Structure 1
Amino acid sequence: MGRWEPGARGRLLRAALELYADPGFEQTTVADISARAGVTERTFFRHFADKREVLFDGSAEFQQRVLDGVAAAPSTASALDAAAAGMDAAAAFLQSTPDLEFPRLRAAVVAANPSLLERELLKLSTVTSASSRALQDRGASAMEAAIAAEVAMAAFRLAFERWVSSPGHPDLRALVREGIAAFRALA
């Protein structure tokens, strides 16, 4: 592929994921990714700060979907219901991806590399904190907002793990709702 062809970002994402799966994240260089995508390393760095960021490309949009979901919840919704609405919006966003194998492959790469897993958990913690602040802006106390945000994120993480490890394409949103319902039953 020539450098002038459109879709460089998408080609870089796909090339990186393929190489991270085999031969592995640690063994893959930016030069390898660029060559597979048919672009220069300079083009790679126009799109991504480093090879880790390829895997976390949608983090800002994911967080915004969560916050939009929290904001869209009815004003009468409890903190937990509003936090759950945020996770439902995030699940809808992930489930709408045109290539449902991408999240599964990405999850496998992240799970296989401790430094990537740590980064993933930090990114999710950032989303949880932002969700907590959004819940406080809706009138929840700091403690209530923090608990609701943590519970909703835990339900999302567990649902996501089930989603990427299940054969076929189960409904991620239903899995998140199931997790929230399980928490309610425990409480």
Structure 2
Amino acid sequence: MGRWEPNARERLAKAALDLYGERGYEQTTVAEIARSAGLTERTFFRHYADKREVLFSGAIELEQLLTRAVADAPPSAAPIDAVASGLDAICAEFEERRDFARKRQAVIWATAELRERELIKLASLAAAFTEALRARGVPPSAAGLTAEAGVAVFKVAFERWIAADERRSLTRLARESLDELRTVAMGGHTPMNEV
């Protein structure tokens, strides 16, 4: 093998996800992932700290994207509308990767360690939302509450989006979930046939 391997990161991620799906996360080793990708363990560790991070490696980039989108929202935008801008930005990153997201989430749901790591990722996303809103001048408690609501909206939309029979875009589902939250917050309710 040469020193440089094209698409090594993507090859490792695909091999890991395939193996996790076939054999289970806990039964899969880094050596097996590297071998399946046609790479070495050393190459694996150049790209990922451990086999868990294959599933969570884009979290920092997502937080940066979110922070920029919230900062770029019009100055007159209400905090929840700035959050909507952040949601639009991060949802757009997922749109072409629904099959990968479905497989990834199935692996996460099947493993307690990964479910815990997913919660940490969502908490980090909420912290990024909070800081972005505070940078816009939103008071700390309102920023935190709005950020947590934004993450809840994303989580609900994401779970709907990866459902086997779902065809709507993640962006649309996030907007619909945000509209549902606004309706509930204003004292209305969503009819059962729309849920």
> TM class, shorter-chain normalised?
over 0.9
Aligned pairs (5 A) from 1:20-169:
20-95=20-95, 97=96, 99-167=97-165, 169=167
Q: Which residue of 1 aligns with 2:188?
A: none
Residue of structure 1 in register with 2:168 after alignment = 170
Task: Give 1:180's match in structure 2, choosing from 173, 178, 181.
Answer: 178
Is the 1:65–1:93 Cα contact (8 Å) retained in structure 2?
no
| Equivalent AA in structure 2 for residue 41 of structure 1 | E
Equivalent pairs: percent with the same residue?
47
After TM superposition, give the deviation of residue 181 of structure 1 in Å.
0.7
Residue number in structure 2 paired with 1:8: 8
Alignment TM-score, normalising by the size of structure 1? 0.94
Structure 1 segments (4+ residues) deviating >3 Å = 2-5
Counterpart CA distance in 1 for 2:88 and 2:60 is: 16
1:78-112 Cα offsets, whole Å, 9 max, x none, are: 111111211111001111x3x43111111111111
Deviation at 1:169, TM superposition (A): 3.6
TM-score of the two chains, using structure 2 as the length reference = 0.90
8 Å CA contact retained: 2:34, 2:41: yes
CA shift for structure 1 position 72: 1.4
CA deviation after TM superposition for structure 1 residue 168, in Å: 5.2
Per-residue deviation, 1:167? 2.4
Displacement after TM superposition at 1:5 (Å): 4.0
The gaps in structure 2 that reach 5 residues or longer are: 186-195
Residue 151 and residue 39 in structure 1: after superposition, are their counterparts in 2 closer, same or farther (change >3 A)?
Answer: same
Q: Residue 170 and residue 53 in structure 1: after superposition, are their counterparts in 2 closer, same or farther (change >3 A)?
A: same
Number of aligned residues: 184
Task: Give RMSD over aligned pairs.
Answer: 1.3
Deviations along 1:3-38, one digit per CA (max 9) or x if unpaired, are 554111111010000000011000000011011001
Q: Classify the secondary structure of the residue corresponding to 2:55.
A: coil
Q: Deviations over 1:41-67 (max 9, x none)?
A: 111001100000000111111111211
CA distance in 2, matches of 1:21, 1:50: 17
2:87 touches 2:150 (CA, 8 Å); kept in 1?
yes
